[in-house]
C-alpha cells in the first residue's frame, strides 16, 4: 500500500460544506434549466405543457418540480436534437453502444470535456494515483466513453496515460510487465480475464507494479472485488458513469471502498421509486436520476439511469463530503422477473463467488409450459471436478441451494467445459433471455 493520507484533486469542492454545495447546485440548476428552456425545443414543450416556467426553479430544493427525461427521449431526438448549444461549440461526440435499441448520442463542449475530466481526475486521485503513475487504460477507445474518459483524467493529474484500449490480452500483460503499469482501468469482467490469463501464464501478481484498479461500466459485487484483488494483487475500486451524463467519473470510490462519491457539483443525484416516480429519502434503494447541472452541450434534466442504488450523506472517513451512492445493485432493465421474483445478475454472481467458484457464468432464462425457468451455466474447474458423478452432483446441489436461499426462486445449474462461455473484453454478456412475450 502506498501512502495512507487521503488526497483530493479539488479539495475545495470535494470537502465543501453542505451549504456551500447547495449554493453551487442551486446556482447551476437555475442556469441549466434556463438553457434547456431557451435552447432545447423538447424541454420548452415539456415545460409549457406542465405549465412550468424556468423562473419557478429558485433553488436545488425545487428540482422535483422538473420533468423526468428518459433514454427514449434521446432516441426520439436522435442524433443531436437535445443539444443546447450550436455545433460551433461542440468539440466531441460519444455514443452509447445501442445494444438495447437505437444509439444515444452525446455532445460535449470544451468546458464539458474539462468538467468530465475533473470527474475522472478526482477518481484517480481518490485511489491514490499521482503524477508519477502509469495509468493503464484497457477500456475501449472510441464512441464508448470509457477509454477517453479515464485518459483525460490521467492527463489532468499529470500521470502518464497508456492508451492500450481493449483486446489483445497477451499484449496488455506484456505492457503491464514492461512499462510497470501502476493503475489498471477496465471493466471488472475484463480485469478477471486479465487475472486468469496471468495465472495461466504462471506470472505472479507480486512481480507487477499494479497498485490499484478502477473498474466500471458493469455492476459488480463485493465478492468480485475480493476475486479481482486476489488475481491481480491490487486494490480494486468502482467507478460509475454513463455516457448520457458524461461517462465514467460521475461517481467514484475512495480508499474506504464504501460507496461511490458523486460529483454532485456537476451531476445532481436523486433516487426515485421507479413505479410511482416519487423521490425517495436517503438510504432507500430506488432508481438513480441525474440532472446535469454542470454541463453545456447536453444538460439533461432528471435523467433516469435505470440503475438501482441508494444515497447516503453520512460522513466518509476519507474526508470527502460529496454524497455517496452504494454500488449499483443492477439495472431496472437488467432485472429479471422469474416467476414473479426480482432477480439481479449481480446476486447470482455473489452466490457463485461465495461458493468459491470462478465468476465465469451465464444466466439462461426460458419459458417452458408458461413457467419461467432460470439456469445458471458455470464453467467447470479443477477445484469442482472429480472422477465421481456423485461428488460433482453434490457441488451442483450446494450451488442450487445457495441460489435458492439468496434469490428466493429455484434455479438450475449446468456445468460446462472450461473457457466455453463467451468472454468479452468489454462488457460481459451475463444473461440470455429466451422468453418471448
Partner 1 sequence: MYINQLSVFLENKKGRLAKITEILAEAGIDIRALSIADTTDYGILRLIVDDPDKAHQTLKANEFTVTITKVIGISVSDVPGAFAHAMRLLEDGDVQIEYAYAFITREPGKAYVILRVNDREKALSLLSKAGVKIIKQEEIFN
Nearest-5° Cα angle at 328, 102 to 31: 65
CA distances from 158 to 27, 125, 154, 415 (A): 31, 11, 6, 47
Name the residue nearer to partner 1 (CB basis): 185 or 374. Answer: 374
* CB contact at 8 A, 290 and 250: yes
- 234/257 Cα distance (integer angstroms): 13
CB of 420 to partner 1, least distance (A): 7
Name the residue nearer to partner 1 (CB basis): 3 or 387. Answer: 387
CB of 378 to partner 1, least distance (A): 11
CB of 383 to partner 1, least distance (A): 10
Name the residue nearer to partner 1 (CB basis): 415 or 429. Answer: 415
Please give the grid coordinates belonging to residue 316.
466518509
CA distances from 317 to 250, 309, 314, 327 (A): 20, 21, 10, 17
CA distances from 420 to 192, 372, 415 (A): 16, 25, 11
Please give the grid coordinates belonging to residue 412.
438450475
The residue whose grid cell reads 426480482 is 342
Neighbours of 100 (CB within 10 A): 12
* CB contact at 8 A, 245 and 2: no
Name the residue nearer to partner 1 (CB basis): 342 or 381. Answer: 381
Name the residue nearer to partner 1 (CB basis): 157 or 395. Answer: 395
CB of 188 to partner 1, least distance (A): 23
Binding site for partner 1 (CB under 8 A): 380-382, 385-390, 392-393, 414-420
CB of 203 to partner 1, least distance (A): 17
CB of 418 to partner 1, least distance (A): 5
CA quadruple 234, 326, 265, 40: dihedral positive or negative? positive
Burial bucket for residue 53 (CB in 10 Å: 0-12, 13-18, 19+): exposed
Name the residue nearer to partner 1 (CB basis): 32 or 378. Answer: 378
Beta partners for residue 267, in sequence order = 292
Name the residue nearer to partner 1 (CB basis): 370 or 388. Answer: 388
CB of 63 to partner 1, least distance (A): 52
Amino acid at each position: 500500500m502506498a501512502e495512507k493520507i487521503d488526497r483530493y484533486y479539488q479539495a475545495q469542492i470535494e470537502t465543501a460544506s453542505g451549504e456551500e454545495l447547495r449554493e453551487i447546485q442551486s446556482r447551476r440548476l437555475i442556469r441549466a434549466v434556463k438553457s434547456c428552456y431557451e435552447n432545447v425545443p423538447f424541454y420548452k414543450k415539456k415545460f409549457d405543457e406542465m405549465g412550468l416556467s424556468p423562473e419557478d426553479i429558485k433553488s436545488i430544493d425545487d428540482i422535483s418540480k422538473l420533468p423526468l427525461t428518459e433514454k427514449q427521449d434521446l432516441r426520439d431526438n436522435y442524433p443531436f436534437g437535445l443539444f443546447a448549444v450550436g455545433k460551433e461549440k461542440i468539440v466531441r461526440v460519444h455514443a452509447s453502444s445501442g445494444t438495447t435499441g437505437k444509439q444515444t448520442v452525446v455532445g460535449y463542449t470544451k468546458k464539458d470535456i474539462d468538467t468530465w475530466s475533473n470527474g475522472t481526475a478526482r477518481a484517480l486521485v481518490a485511489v491514490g494515483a499521482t503524477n508519477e503513475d502509469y495509468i493503464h487504460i484497457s477500456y475501449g477507445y472510441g464512441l464508448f466513453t470509457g477509454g477517453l474518459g479515464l485518459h483525460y483524467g490521467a492527463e489532468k493529474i499529470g500521470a502518464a496515460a497508456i492508451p492500450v484500449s481493449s483486446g489483445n490480452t497477451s499484449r496488455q500483460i506484456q505492457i503491464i510487465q514492461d512499462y510497470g503499469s501502476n493503475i489498471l482501468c477496465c471493466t471488472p469482467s475484463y480485469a478477471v480475464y486479465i487475472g486468469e490469463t496471468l495465472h495461466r501464464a504462471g506470472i505472479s501478481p507480486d512481480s507487477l507494479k499494479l497498485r490499484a484498479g478502477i473498474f466500471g461500466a458493469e455492476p459488480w459485487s463485493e465478492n468480485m472485488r475480493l476475486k479481482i484483488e486476489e488475481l491481480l494483487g491490487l486494490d480494486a475500486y468502482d467507478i460509475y458513469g454513463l455516457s448520457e451524463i458524461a461517462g465514467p467519473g460521475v461517481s467514484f470510490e475512495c480508499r474506504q471502498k464504501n460507496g461511490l462519491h458523486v460529483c454532485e457539483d456537476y451531476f445532481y443525484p436523486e433516487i426515485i421509486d421507479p413505479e410511482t416516480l416519487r423521490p425517495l429519502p436517503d438510504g432507500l434503494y430506488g432508481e438513480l436520476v441525474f440532472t446535469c447541472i454542470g454541463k453545456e452541450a447536453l444538460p439533461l434534466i432528471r435523467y433516469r439511469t435505470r440503475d438501482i442504488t441508494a444515497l447516503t450523506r453520512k460522513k466518509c472517513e476519507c474526508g470527502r463530503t460529496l454524497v455517496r451512492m452504494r454500488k449499483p445493485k443492477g439495472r431496472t432493465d437488467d432485472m429479471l422477473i422469474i416467476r414473479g421474483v426480482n432477480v439481479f445478475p449481480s446476486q447470482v454472481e455473489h452466490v457463485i463467488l461465495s461458493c468459491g467458484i470462478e465468476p465465469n457464468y451465464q444466466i439462461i432464462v426460458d419459458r417452458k409450459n408458461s413457467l419461467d425457468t432460470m439456469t445458471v451455466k458455470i464453467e467447470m474447474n479443477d477445484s469442482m471436478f472429480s472422477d465421481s458423478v456423485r461428488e460433482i452432483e453434490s457441488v451442483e446441489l450446494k450451488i442450487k441451494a445457495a441460489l435458492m436461499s439468496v434469490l428466493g426462486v429455484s434455479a438450475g445449474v449446468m456445468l460446462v467445459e472450461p473457457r466455453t462461455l463467451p468472454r468479452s473484453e468489454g462488457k460481459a454478456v451475463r444473461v440470455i433471455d429466451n422468453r418471448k412475450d
